[in-house]
Amino acid sequence: MGPLAGIKIVELTGIGPGPMCAMLLADLGATVLRIDRPEPSDLGVAKPLRFDLLLRGRRCLALDLKHPDGKALALRLIERADALIEGFRPGVTERLGLGPEDCFARNPRLVYGRVTGWGQEGPLAQAAGHDLNYIALAGALHAFGRRGQAPTPPLNLIGDFGGGALYLAFGIVCGILEARRSGRGQMVDAAMIDGSASLMTAFHGLVAAGVARHERGTNILDTGAHFYEVYECADGRWISVAAIEGKFYAELLRRLDIDPAELRPQMEREDWPEAKARLAVLFKTRTSEEWRALLEGTDACFAPVLTTDEAPDHPHNQARGTYVEIDGIIQPAPAPRFSRSVPDQPIPPQPPSRGEEAEAALAPWLEATDIAALRQSGVLG
Q: Domains in the chain, please, with CATH?
A: 8-199+323-377 (3.40.50.10540), 228-305 (3.30.1540.10)
Identify the sign of the CA torsion 175, 176, 180, 185.
positive
Neighbouring-strand partners of residue 187: 112
Of the pLDDT bands very low, low, confident and very high (cuts 50, 70, 90), residue 45 is low
- pLDDT beyond 90 at 38: no
Say how far apart CA 162 and CA 336 lie, in whole Å.
Answer: 15
Q: Which of these is catalytic: 131, 160, 194, 222?
A: 160
Reply yes or no on whether the pLDDT at 246 is more than 90: yes
The enclosing H or E element of 355 equals: helix 355-362
Which residues contact residue 105 at a Cβ distance below 8 angstroms, ignoring those fewer than 6 apart?
none
Indicate the SS3 state at residue 33: strand
The answer to whether 214 is a known catalytic residue is no
pLDDT band at 41 (very low <50, low <70, confident <90, very high): low
Q: Is 194 a catalytic residue?
A: no
Q: Which DSSP string do the residues of 66-87 spell out, in sequence order? A: TSHHHHHHHHHHHHT-SEEEE-
- Please state whether the peptide bond connecting residue 336 to the residue before it is cis, i.e. omega within 30 degrees of 0: yes
State the catalytic residue, choosing from 69, 102, 130, 299. 130
| 8-12, strands of its sheet edge to edge | 59-62, 31-36, 8-12, 83-86, 111-116, 186-191
**Residue type at position 248:** F
DSSP letter string over 220-279?
TTTT-STTEEEEE-TTS-EEEEE--SHHHHHHHHHHTT--GGGS--TT-GGGHHHHHHHH
264-321 pLDDT per residue, tens: 999 999 999 999 999 999 999 999 999 999 999 999 999 999 999 999 999 999 999 9
Which residues does residue 283 pair with via DSSP β-bridges, in sequence order?
none
Interval 14-39 mean pLDDT? 95
C-alpha neighbours within 13 Å on the C-beta side of residue 225: 20
Cβ atoms of 283 and 233 closer than 8 Å = yes
Q: What angle do CA 199, 203, 208 make, to 5 degrees?
A: 140
Tell whether the model's pLDDT for residue 113 goes beyond 70: yes
With H, G, I as helix, E, B as strand and everything else as coil, classify residue 375.
Answer: helix
66, 339, 353 from 373: Cα distances, Å: 20, 43, 17
pTM over 0.75: yes
State the virtual CA torsion across 364, 180, 84, 62 in degrees, nearest 10.
10
